Structure 1
Amino acid sequence: MWEELRDILEKRFKLRQVDFTYGDSLYGSIRLRDALANFFNNYFKPFSPVSPDNLLMGNGLLSLISQLGRALIDPGHGVLLAAPYYHGFDISFSVHSGVRVVGAPVPFEDMFTSKELDHLEKVLADSEAKGVPIRAVLLCNPQNPYGRCYPPELITAYCQFCERHNLHLISDEIYALSTFASDDLPNAVPFTSVLSLDLESLNVNPQRIHMVYGMSKDFDANGFRAGVLYTRNEMLLHSLLATSLFMLVGSPSAGLWYSLLSDQTLLNHFIQRNQTHLRESYEHMSAWLRFHNIPYLPSSAGHFIMVNFRPILADTDRYISQLRLSSEMDFWDREAALTAAFLANGVLVSHGQGFHMYEGGWMRFTFSLKREMVDVALDRIERALGWDRWPGGSPELSDYGPVN
Structure 2
Amino acid sequence: MSTLAPRGAELADGPSLRELFGGILGDKYDKDTNPNGMINIGTAENYIMIPEVSQFTQTHPVALNNNQLSYGEGPWGTPRLRRAMAHHMNKRFHPYIPIQPDDLLFANGVSTICELLGFSLASPGDAILMSSPIYQAFAVDFGTKAKVSTVHVSFPPGTDQFSPAAVAEYERVLLASSQQAGNSGGPKIRAILLCHPHNPLGRPYPRETLIEFMKLCEKYQIHLLSDEIYAIKDFAAGGLRIGCLYTRNRALWRAISAMSQFSWIPVASEVLAWNLLEDDAWLEEFFARSRERLAGGRRLVAGLLEEKGVRFYQGANAGFFLWIDLRSWLPPSASAASKSEEGVGKGVEEGKKREKVLVDRLFEKKVFLTPGMDMFAEEPGFFRLVFSQEEDVVREGLRRVFEAIGV
Same fold (TM over 0.5): yes
Q: 1:159 offset after TM fit, Å?
A: 0.8
User: Which of residues 179, 187, 195 in structure 2 aligns to 1:129?
Assistant: 179
Is the 1:26–1:244 contact (alpha carbons within 8 Å) kept by the matching residues of 2?
yes
Per-residue CA deviation, residues 118-137 of structure 1 (Å, 9 max, x unaligned), is 21111111211222211111
Identity %: 33
Give the secondary structure class of the aligned counterpart of 2:379: coil
Q: Which residue is 1:364 aligned to?
A: 384
Per-residue CA deviation, residues 251-279 of structure 1 (Å, 9 max, x unaligned), is 11111111111111001111111111110
Q: Does 1:6 align with 2:54?
A: yes
Distance 1:354 1:116 in 2: 23
Is the 1:13–1:255 contact (alpha carbons within 8 Å) kept by the matching residues of 2?
no
Q: 1:248 offset after TM fit, Å?
A: 1.1
Q: Which residue is 1:21 aligned to?
A: 70
Q: Which residue is 2:28 aligned to?
A: none
Q: Which runs of 5+ in 2 are unaligned?
A: 1-48, 182-186, 336-349
Distance 2:151 2:202 in 1: 21
Give the secondary structure class of the aligned counterpart of 1:96: coil
Distance 1:111 1:255 in 2: 39
Is the 1:331–1:359 contact (alpha carbons within 8 Å) kept by the matching residues of 2?
yes
Give the secondary structure class of the aligned counterpart of 1:340: helix
Q: Does 1:59 align with 2:108?
A: yes
Q: Does 1:105 align with 2:125?
A: no
Q: 1:379 offset after TM fit, Å?
A: 1.6
- Structure 1 residues 5 and 166: CA distance shift in structure 2, 3 A: same
What letter corresponds to residue 385 of structure 1 in structure 2?
A: I
Distance 2:333 2:322 in 1: 28
Distance 1:378 1:109 in 2: 30
Distance 1:251 1:232 in 2: 25
Q: 1:14 offset after TM fit, Å?
A: 2.6
Per-residue CA deviation, residues 145-167 of structure 1 (Å, 9 max, x unaligned), is 10001110000111111000000
Distance 2:90 2:405 in 1: 49
Q: Does 1:275 align with 2:291?
A: yes
What letter corresponds to residue 6 of structure 1 in structure 2?
A: S
Distance 2:295 2:333 in 1: 39
Is the 1:310–1:331 contact (alpha carbons within 8 Å) kept by the matching residues of 2?
no
Aligned residues: 337
What letter corresponds to residue 68 of structure 2 in structure 1?
A: D
Per-residue CA deviation, residues 197-242 of structure 1 (Å, 9 max, x unaligned), is xxxxxxxxxxxxxxxxxx3x11112221101000011111111111
Distance 1:342 1:289 in 2: 16
What letter corresponds to residue 157 of structure 1 in structure 2?
A: E
Q: Which residue is 2:27 aligned to?
A: none
Per-residue CA deviation, residues 278-332 of structure 1 (Å, 9 max, x unaligned), is 100010000010000111012110111000112333xxxxxxxxxxx34526654
What letter corresponds to residue 223 of structure 1 in structure 2?
A: G
Q: Does 1:96 align with 2:145?
A: yes
> Alignment RMSD, CA only?
1.5
Distance 1:381 1:27 in 2: 43
Output aligned runs, 1:343-382, within 5 Å: 343-382=363-402
Distance 1:306 1:326 in 2: 22
TM-score of the pair, normalised by structure 1: 0.81
